[in-house]
Amino acid sequence: MNIAVLGTGHVGGALGCRWAAVGHSVFFGARDPAGAEVRAVLARAGGGARAGSCREAIAACDTVLLAIPWDQTHAVLERAESLDGKLLIDCINPLTPDLQDLTLGYKTSAAEQIAAWFPTARVVKAFNTLSAATMENPRYGDLAAHVFICGDDPSAKETVHQLARELGFEPIECGPLRLARQLEPLAMLYVYLAVFQGWGGDCAFRMLKR
């Protein structure tokens, strides 16, 4: 699969390099594709990965991971040649700078906002409740972290389930895109526990089942 990974920070770097490692063709999109951060990520990702502008990455791929700050998201996507039919995987949490609230409030969500801006794209919310450490390694002893996935396009969601399984996660189907209104608060709870209650990044939500 050709996967554009927009953003080469902890999140884009972790998921992009791991998808490259399992054989996907990863095209990192960045503001400065020749910069040190991108070069380091390309070195980790190995020979199959490329980098360019976000516009170039989107044009080259049918699947696009959004791993950029929320306040850049609209501008970056607006510059794309076309988003028609593209699978946009949204793992963004639009947190306030103090990490204590959601900038969009709770009556919508980043995922729904992106879908409203770009109605010809197929938006799936996923990976937003995970730390970068868990993205690097989803195993917790015998158990794997759960990835909570919602969206309105069944085939797009199935692709994301598969991309999650390939990295060792267990996906949980969470229904339509409006469930992002629960998944973004879940990320806030995660951030609160990780940052303010001392759990750190080596923790992850799982649904126990018997």
> Number of C-alpha atoms within 13 angstroms, CB side, residue 71?
5
Smallest separation, CB 126 to its own copies (Å)? 14
Window 111-140: residues binding its own copies (CB under 8 A): 140
Which position has the token pair 């988003």?
83
168 binds its own copies (CB under 8 A): no
182 binds its own copies (CB under 8 A): yes
What is residue 102's DSSP assignment? B
Nearest-angstrom CA–CA distance, 101 and 91 = 17
Q: Between 135 and 164, how does the x/- string for binding to its own copies read (CB under 8 A)? A: -----xx-x-x--x----------------
Q: Among candidates 116, 108, 95, which has minimal Cα distance to 192?
A: 95
What is residue 192's DSSP assignment? I
Smallest separation, CB 93 to its own copies (Å)? 12
Nearest-angstrom CA–CA distance, 182 and 191 = 14
Smallest separation, CB 86 to its own copies (Å)? 26
Window 186-205: residues binding its own copies (CB under 8 A): 186, 188-189, 192-193, 196-197, 199, 202-205
Enumerate the β-bridge partners of residue 147: 171
What is residue 152's DSSP assignment? S
Smallest separation, CB 189 to its own copies (Å)? 4
Q: Which of 74, 106, 119, 165 binds its own copies (CB under 8 A)?
A: 106
Tokens, residue 47: 């020979």
The residue among 17 and 204 lying less far from its own copies, judged by its C-beta, is 204
Q: Checking DSSP bridges between strand 63-66 and strand 2-6, what pairing results, if any?
A: parallel
Q: Which residues bind its own copies (CB under 8 A)?
A: 105-107, 140-141, 143, 145, 148, 172-175, 179, 181-183, 185-186, 188-189, 192-193, 196-197, 199, 202-210
